[in-house]
Amino acid sequence: MGQLLAQLRRTIEEENLLQAGERIVVAVSGGPDSAALLHALEALARTYQWQLAAAHVDHGFRGEESLSEADWVEAFAGQLGIPCFRTQLNMPGELKQHPGNAQDRARELRYAFLVETANQWRAGKIALGHHADDQAETVLMRLLRGSGSHGLAGMPIRRMEKNVELVRPLLRIYKAELVSYCREQGIDYRTDSSNSKRIYTRNAIRLDVLPALEDFSPGAAQSLNRTAMILGDEDAYLKQLTEELFAEMTTVESGFIRLSASRLAALHPALQRRLIHLILSYLSGGDDAVTFRHIEQVRHAVRQHAAPNARFELAGSIRLERDYDGLCFTTAQAKTPAAYEYEIHALPAVVQVAEAGIAMQLERITLESNEPRQALSGGGMEEAWLDAERLHMPLIVRCRKPGDRMRIQGLNGSKKVKDMFIDAKIPVSERETMPLVTDAEDRVLWIPGLRRSDVALVSDRTRSVVHIRISSII
């Protein structure tokens, strides 16, 4: 077994990239890297009982040149006895209809075809031809652009793309080794003429920057790969910590994520940034829209000197609202809590107030003449006692309405429910779902978790009471 095959086999087994008996789609551009990958995997296929298929995308940028490359890939795969799936895109036309970054759009469509091919061929893996020099270029590009350890870890050796796993078996092998392998095996690979155009950042780094670094510091590419590997391990550990913090610190609902500002502020800045990034990525559906500026906006919002009430527009139509110690991230698609109202015409009764996450039990109790009333005169966080004969049925459990007021004992008047929420520092995101108990005359009797009014207070003359108790819905 040759040196490259031995190294490839070692990487596959050490990283557990491919399993015996798997069906694998190999992305083949026609260059020396992907051509060597297809040939080498075919050489190992009998040992591992792999079933291989080649997949090629002609982006339509280079006319006859790219068409001849597609024909070569199909013929090369045929020589190896491997089926080939190919497609031709019209990227110039695509970009006219959907202007944007040509390379990003081409990559998006290329990966979509690879996943479609894998699903069609019932393959669980797609093998890509990225090698160690590609990794060095990627790390350097991200370093120049500005990145944390996640970006500087470079391309992962494996990752999921929808329902298929992408693997990079050549990531520990350098291009010179692949070119040498092709020469030894008589593989007449193709050369993409656009790879020599310095208008593309990656090409300029490969053709000019990395060679200059090698002159200045021999082994620069190896150093960049070593750095990526170290940072990749550290990134994986920090990712695990961040996911644990996400599960512990956040409350996730449809289109909403809530957490404590003070708890977020207490984290180390490295974990703050990662947790914020994870939250924004979760809500926006990916990393692309999340920038350093968005992350720092959130960090500023949780600092002690920041305003206790603030709103920010963040990545991908995400809005951040701070209410005292509460942070609420919402998406543009998040639904505003719907108004609700439940009528209770007869007692006893149990009302499930799903909007507020509580169950409310109500019962009417007749008091004995010698039974003390003083203990029933108040109202707390979880229960309230009301003089039944001073109420007007039906009782109603509902969300707040504009203009709601509550009569408060000792105030000699009423107070706006809105102001009561503000005084109690109830987060804005929770105010619309907090339940109010009223009677048929729309008098606010009790706000569970906050306080009760002076309407229908229990006195020495009270003969029967309505007892209301709340509990959480589990």
Within 13 Å, how many C-alpha atoms sit on residue 376's CB side? 24
CB 167 within 8 A of CB 18: yes
Pairwise CA distance, residues 385 & 173, whole Å: 76
Phi, psi of 333 (to 5 degrees): -85, -10
Q: Which residues contact 284 (CB under 8 A, 6 or more apart)?
A: 290, 315, 316, 317, 318, 331
CA gap 126, 55 in Å, rounded: 9
Q: In this predicted structure, what is the pLDDT of residue 305?
A: 61
Select from 328, 445, 441, 426 the least CA-distant residue to 385. Answer: 445
Distance CA 263, CA 316 (A): 25
**What's the mean pLDDT when you consider all of the chain?**
89
pLDDT for 1: 64
Buried b (16+ CB within 10 A) or exposed e, 30-40: bbbbbbbbbbb
Name the residue among 361, 445, 348 with its Cα closest to residue 398.
445
Ranges of the chain with pLDDT below 70 = 1, 288, 304-308, 315-316, 332-336, 373-380, 474
* Cis geometry, peptide bond prior to residue 394 (ω within 30 degrees of 0): yes
Closest CA to 33 of 206, 175, 132, 155: 175
Number of H helices, E strands in the chain: 16, 22
Q: Is 34 annotated as a binding residue?
A: yes
In this predicted structure, what is the pLDDT of residue 371? 73
pLDDT at 304: 62
Those residues whose C-beta lies under 8 Å from the C-beta of residue 6, and which sit 6 or more positions away, are none
Contact 141, 205 (CB under 8 A): yes
At residue 171, φ and ψ (nearest 5 deg) are -70, -15
Residue 442 marked in a binding site: no
Residue 380: predicted pLDDT: 65
Record the tokens describing residue 337, joined without a space: 């809590």
Q: How many CB atoms lie within 10 A of CB 87?
A: 17
Q: What is the pLDDT of residue 78?
A: 96
How far is C-alpha 434 from the geometric centre of its chain's CA atoms?
A: 29
Do residues 91 and 60 touch, judged by C-beta distance below 8 A? Answer: yes
- The pLDDT tens digits of the residues spanning 301-327 come to 888 666 667 777 886 688 888 877 888
Angle in degrees, CA 288, 147, 256, rounded to 5? 40
pTM to 2 decimals? 0.70
Retrieve residue 391's tokens: 């109420």
pLDDT at 123: 97
* 159-177 residues labelled b (16+ CB within 10 A) or e (exposed): eeeeebbbbbbbbbbbbeb
Distance of alpha carbon 51 from alpha carbon 121, whole angstroms: 10
Q: How far apart are CA 448 and CA 463, in angstroms?
A: 24
Residue 472 annotated as lining a ligand binding site: no
Separation between Cα atoms, residue 464 and residue 351, nearest integer Å: 21
- Is 453 within any annotated ligand binding site? no
51-58 vs 84-88, strand pairing mode: parallel
Residue 474 pLDDT: 59
Rounded-to-integer distance, Cα 54 and Cα 83, Å? 6
Beta carbons of 78 and 47 less than 8 angstroms apart = no
Distance from C-alpha of 324 to C-alpha of 421, rounded to nearest angstrom: 12
> Would you list the DSSP string of 59-94?
-SSSTHHHHHHHHHHHHHHHHTT--EEEEE--HHHH
